[in-house]
Structure 1
């Protein structure tokens, strides 16, 4: 079909049939535009294929297809059918339609394209995140009818917010309000207000998508939605469901069997019809940032989706991020906050304990590094229920130092090559402890360093620089020998705890939800969180502290080990995250940090990063910072900063440079990340 795009359809069919065995084109719209599953940036565009007559009825827009690309059979999505092609050569033929189910809706296809452009990525990478793998058995199942109790008529979760009623009214009447919501701590929590917003949206005959950080948050929202909407009105999507069940639930949203979806970050692409609301809880949680290329953030994806579809958007949290504050400052969103008297009534009693706080007289409590004020709060709290101790480090003793000179303890053994021979030099990895009777081991090479000697002073004894959650739990068990100690962290996250007496030691973000609330909360080692070399250290500390404090019972006591003069501690004392977020945004604007500007990072081998910086056509207002080494492996990172108005131009330039490198088959890969969270 050399110039067949210029010939009438009848002539094309006649010419195609003239060659023995040549496929007969479809009688209508014989050209299929296919998004091929190929991550190479220089090939990030649709490709045209001929639709044979045998596939005319099944090759519909949105279906999965298999095509021949670069001599191989690869998967793809059929984006649209067309009358003709601009391609001058012969079109390859669609090999087959994998499934007649149109899994890629036009709305999600357009959103995926916009996300790829926003993050200097490819459409194929975004579609892998947006559309789950096919499960044939789930696709062929008949839908099941779910019956159960009637939905509850309970309402009033927004009564404490002066703008709450008008927000719900706008959702119910089909309008598209955009709001940044600071939730009150206490028994109501956040899930019931979110469920009420979803219910108001569904009353207006529109759909809703709710994205939360992790599985226990999905469970909370799932319970609230089931209570208010009744069973079968929504689906919950999480990664631990398994491929078949997850695909089965995803299909319910695609086919319009449910109008509401709640899930973790992958749910931001849920194919809900007639979308009227996108809601995001706790947007500062790093779980909302995708770990796979092109590394999109759920907040930005949902904001793009709300803008493209005309849907409402709700960003909620106990604290507030600088990014959400900027949305309010620019007028893109309106704030929803409670009256000050309601905040005072709901906020916990906060008591700071600085570094000079007197340790408890109890020897076991002193060993656990508990000031007397924290010891008393825990002791009194255990009289009536569970108490929470938040520890910012996981493990037992993750960092060691010399007992005499305090020099960091480093591995003094040579690293081993893959082939078994020994390299020159030493490992120099940090030493840690796995348990109370264990020898120090290296966190990099994993080998035991029982005979370690300090290279500075010659000492052979080590001390803990930072104490982890398991060590803290062990020490608290000695301080409260008659109380059950539970831990929640990376090795195992507890979703809930009962109302009985218990000491719960958890790392930030892994705090189990207590039945009835905690009677007391102690926040240990505040300096460890505030002292991190991270742009978001103060903001992240406030967020984690407030999330833990929100689990308290009404009137519960919160003890934070930090100086009362610190802005983060003052934010807790006044329960005023808005002022803290506005200060953060003002400081970042003055210094030229996100979100006041758009930032991109290039990470890779030193020569590859420098070569890409020389070749990329950056905007005239771009500033290049670095490159600088990021570790001892020869990797470097460069940062590129532009005003927000030039963000799309920067993303286009970086994608173009990546495409040039891919076309040349340059071996050294440079990772491009737009607006990453881990700026240090």
Structure 2
């Protein structure tokens, strides 16, 4: 019976027998008397089929497969008619286990353990461009090793999907340039304008890219800026700022963690990053800047392009259409652009001769890859910086515990504003929880909009817009019984009931069904109340309180990029706050206690990051800027009032070091069926110093990736990933094991986890166990 499409488990035995796994029996090993190039005939000559290329007839291919035990190179024959196209870094199509799979051609060689007359030939070369660079492959392997993942999964995030029309345009433009320059096919490839991967010197992707000879940039490539010197005075006002910017100008791989000033009209964090990029470009090096979302990307792009010559900057945004995204990728690959700005995928951009890599707001969850192996852009940036000897800048309004750890260990130096400059740049921050406001307003601690906040908003509206930050989007994201306060849930699937708009019936947040004629299942009371208020309801209430003032909502699917300097009430959820021209006159930080009470290791850290980001949009105190925070949480409020994100990060890191929690230690989560977890741990044979917690049952909503959303039948029964209801015969109730281990043993632990995944995948003796490393966002 032919294997199922898309099931590489049913692989060709000739290929599977070459998989080298610890403790995995192999049906046949190559005899030591066999030649690496295959069998020999009686005369001692190699028997090479006539269809193979005469030079380097063996292609080593990495399959685009998520199956762990196929995470290795497979040997294929290079037909003569594909010898010119089949170059390292190109996409190819091959036969494997009766299927046609895509893969990456990693290396051309003359040696193989497979008899040459039994080599499967490449079916075709799918791309005329070698889009996988040696550097990208090397960093992908580092990321896969660090995260116990599969290299092909990492490359899926690193190289955008192919757009054939873009490649044709690039090859046509290259041919035209070669013709104009009087080049011919016989010219030395090292002088060609093609990418390094298509030169003979870079034939082997497994080699060290630094040992390959440098190639000239294509014609028309903008060189270093020759305009007026870059103004670096903004950096010189920070502690360690002159040293960092001086190192960038000298091309040195400096490493820094930047805590930017709030509310500074002349140079905020984006201006500082733009200056650092311009200095790097002036030194003749490229730069990579990674931001968490498109809103910040648009603002940063404007500032960077203002300081750089035309035709230098490329944009890589995950939400862009495939054609412009792939075109920007190819331009970077060929060296036609040397600075890239983008969201999460930009960290992999194939910039020629990069000198600086920047990660903005590294605490933002958008920087975590949403597909296996769930790597963080910050971690990729650090690995790439080490491998390629780049300068690193982690910048933001706050300092995460991960970034603070880099400072504490001496790996990076802090760049922070002096206290006097900080105080001059801050807006006035008012905490309604302090004793003075409690005495003046007895309801200040209980009212959602205390009298102080109302008064500040009213006064600020005379000079500009006012930002109101609320915890949740929607109208009433949660409701409960009016009498007994029992949370209202769907009778079909037990999902939470919500109200989407004024006058609408409650509906289920999971299955979407309306709850007609709802009544409490406990006390049978027919009326409900809002137990949580969303941004739409808040906007409605503020509209009644300020009837002559426009109310703008920014949340959910309707996020505003910016607002004008005119008076308006802007209600936004965390992360959806629009940029205001001239900055906001005031900000009201509501629902802080609700945000801080969320379960999770990072609740306080995340709330503070949201607060700091919102406050940074407000004018400085000497320009009339005021912020009101309504939370009762003393430590978080004091951190905001003092504007001490680095101090909070130090304290958090010290506490987690005592408790042996991330990022003081590394972590991993194993998720799967209970029996499979026990078998997997037996197979992995982890070091005794690894702290193992669990297994414990988990719900679908706690799972990462596509399984994180519950699926249900028409009757409301929850489905597992296998399409069965929990508890039914053959169903898979998920459990999770948490692992905590020190950095010194991290390489050994992840190697054992990775090896166990591959062995379990090959032997198929128990169910699938998902492995995810660095899980602070799950705790």
Task: Select 1:5's aligned residue among 29, 36, 53.
Answer: 36
Show the counterpart of 1:598. Answer: 666
Q: C-alpha distance in 1, partners of 2:472/2:121?
A: 57
> Which moves more between the two structures, 367-376 or 176-185?
367-376
Contact 1:385-1:502 within 8 A present in 2 as well: yes
Shift in Å, 1:82? 1.6
Q: C-alpha distance in 1, partners of 2:126/2:543?
A: 58
- Say if 2:752 is the partner of 1:669: no
Show the counterpart of 2:95. Answer: 68
> Which moves more between the two structures, 288-297 or 490-499?
490-499
Shift in Å, 1:606? 3.4
Contact 1:360-1:366 within 8 A present in 2 as well: no
- Say if 2:464 is the partner of 1:398: no
Contact 1:27-1:53 within 8 A present in 2 as well: yes
Task: Select 1:580's aligned residue among 636, 648, 651.
Answer: 648
Show the counterpart of 2:548. Answer: 482
Residues 574-623 of structure 1, C-alpha deviations (whole Å, 9 max, x = no match): 11111111110011111110011111111233343343234332122112
Shift in Å, 1:407? 2.3
Show the counterpart of 2:717. Answer: none
Q: C-alpha distance in 2, partners of 1:532/1:428?
A: 21
- Say if 2:268 is the partner of 1:201: no
- Say if 2:592 is the partner of 1:526: yes
Give the secondary-structure state (helix, strand or coil) at the position aligned to 2:456. helix
Could you tell me which runs of 5 or more consecutive residues in structure 1 were left unpaired when the two chains were aligned: 416-426
Show the counterpart of 1:504. Answer: 570
Show the counterpart of 2:629. Answer: 560
- Say if 2:354 is the partner of 1:275: yes
Contact 1:433-1:441 within 8 A present in 2 as well: yes
Shift in Å, 1:95? 1.7
Q: C-alpha distance in 2, partners of 1:146/1:612?
A: 52
Shift in Å, 1:153? 5.2
- Say if 2:192 is the partner of 1:129: no
Show the counterpart of 1:431. Answer: 497
Give the secondary-structure state (helix, strand or coil) at the position aligned to 2:101. strand
> Which moves more between the two structures, 152-161 or 128-137?
152-161
- Say if 2:393 is the partner of 1:327: no
Contact 2:551-2:569 within 8 A present in 1 as well: yes
Show the counterpart of 2:534. Answer: 468
Contact 1:368-1:475 within 8 A present in 2 as well: no
Show the counterpart of 1:454. Answer: 520
Q: Specify whether residues 190 and 151 from structure 1 end up closer, same or farther in structure 2 by C-alpha distance, changes over 3 A only.
A: farther
Q: C-alpha distance in 2, partners of 1:489/1:665?
A: 45
The 5 A counterparts of 1:259-658 are 259-354=338-433, 369-411=448-490, 413=491, 415=492, 427-555=493-621, 556-563=625-632, 566-631=634-699, 633=726, 634-658=733-757
Contact 1:567-1:580 within 8 A present in 2 as well: no
Contact 1:328-1:334 within 8 A present in 2 as well: yes
> Which moves more between the two structures, 67-76 or 366-375?
366-375
TM-score by length of structure 2 reads: 0.80
Give the secondary-structure state (helix, strand or coil) at the position aligned to 1:5. coil
Shift in Å, 1:404? 1.9
Residues 78-131 of structure 1, C-alpha deviations (whole Å, 9 max, x = no match): 111122113357222122211221101100010111111111111111111101
The 5 A counterparts of 1:220-239 are 220-239=299-318
Show the counterpart of 1:421. Answer: none
Task: Select 1:215's aligned residue among 294, 316, 320.
Answer: 294
Show the counterpart of 1:16. Answer: 48
Show the counterpart of 2:176. Answer: none
Shift in Å, 1:436? 2.2
Contact 1:145-1:232 within 8 A present in 2 as well: no
Q: C-alpha distance in 2, partners of 1:455/1:360?
A: 42
Give the secondary-structure state (helix, strand or coil) at the position aligned to 2:585. strand
Contact 1:152-1:227 within 8 A present in 2 as well: no
- Say if 2:69 is the partner of 1:55: no
Q: Specify whether residues 625 and 14 from structure 1 end up closer, same or farther in structure 2 by C-alpha distance, changes over 3 A only.
A: closer
> Which moves more between the two structures, 122-131 or 449-458?
449-458
Task: Select 1:46's aligned residue among 57, 70, 73.
Answer: 73
Contact 1:360-1:371 within 8 A present in 2 as well: no
Show the counterpart of 1:185. Answer: 262
> Which moves more between the two structures, 471-480 or 435-444?
435-444
Show the counterpart of 1:423. Answer: none
Give the secondary-structure state (helix, strand or coil) at the position aligned to 2:387. helix
Q: Specify whether residues 408 and 80 from structure 1 end up closer, same or farther in structure 2 by C-alpha distance, changes over 3 A only.
A: same
Q: C-alpha distance in 1, partners of 2:469/2:352?
A: 41
Could you tell me which runs of 5 or more consecutive residues in structure 2 were left unpaired when the two chains were aligned: 1-13, 15-29, 174-218, 701-725, 727-732
Q: Specify whether residues 463 and 358 from structure 1 end up closer, same or farther in structure 2 by C-alpha distance, changes over 3 A only.
A: farther
Q: C-alpha distance in 1, partners of 2:350/2:111?
A: 29
> Which moves more between the two structures, 523-532 or 61-70?
61-70
Q: C-alpha distance in 2, partners of 1:460/1:592?
A: 49
Contact 1:360-1:372 within 8 A present in 2 as well: no
Q: Specify whether residues 9 and 227 from structure 1 end up closer, same or farther in structure 2 by C-alpha distance, changes over 3 A only.
A: farther
Q: C-alpha distance in 2, partners of 1:348/1:628?
A: 46
Give the secondary-structure state (helix, strand or coil) at the position aligned to 1:553. coil
Q: C-alpha distance in 2, partners of 1:207/1:87?
A: 42
Contact 2:474-2:535 within 8 A present in 1 as well: yes
Shift in Å, 1:667? 7.5
Task: Select 2:323's aligned residue among 244, 255, 262.
Answer: 244
Shift in Å, 1:138? 1.0
Q: C-alpha distance in 1, partners of 2:228/2:248?
A: 19
Q: C-alpha distance in 2, partners of 1:408/1:358?
A: 31
**Deviating runs (4+, > 4 A) in structure 1?**
1-4, 6-14, 142-147, 149-155, 355-361, 365-368
Residues 538-587 of structure 1, C-alpha deviations (whole Å, 9 max, x = no match): 11111100000000112210001112x61111011111111111110011
> Which moves more between the two structures, 234-243 or 79-88?
79-88
Q: Specify whether residues 359 and 468 from structure 1 end up closer, same or farther in structure 2 by C-alpha distance, changes over 3 A only.
A: farther
Residues 611-651 of structure 1, C-alpha deviations (whole Å, 9 max, x = no match): 32343321221121111122285322211111121222222
Q: C-alpha distance in 1, partners of 2:608/2:279?
A: 31
Q: C-alpha distance in 2, partners of 1:309/1:243?
A: 28
CA RMSD of aligned residues (A): 2.8
Residues 360-408 of structure 1, C-alpha deviations (whole Å, 9 max, x = no match): 99x9x99993111111111111111111000111111111122222222
Show the counterpart of 2:234. Answer: 157
- Say if 2:205 is the partner of 1:139: no
Contact 2:37-2:46 within 8 A present in 1 as well: no
Shift in Å, 1:353? 1.4
Residues 243-292 of structure 1, C-alpha deviations (whole Å, 9 max, x = no match): 01100011111100111101000111000111211100000000000100
Q: C-alpha distance in 2, partners of 1:213/1:16?
A: 52
TM-score by length of structure 1 reads: 0.92
Give the secondary-structure state (helix, strand or coil) at the position aligned to 2:513. coil
Q: C-alpha distance in 2, partners of 1:198/1:428?
A: 52
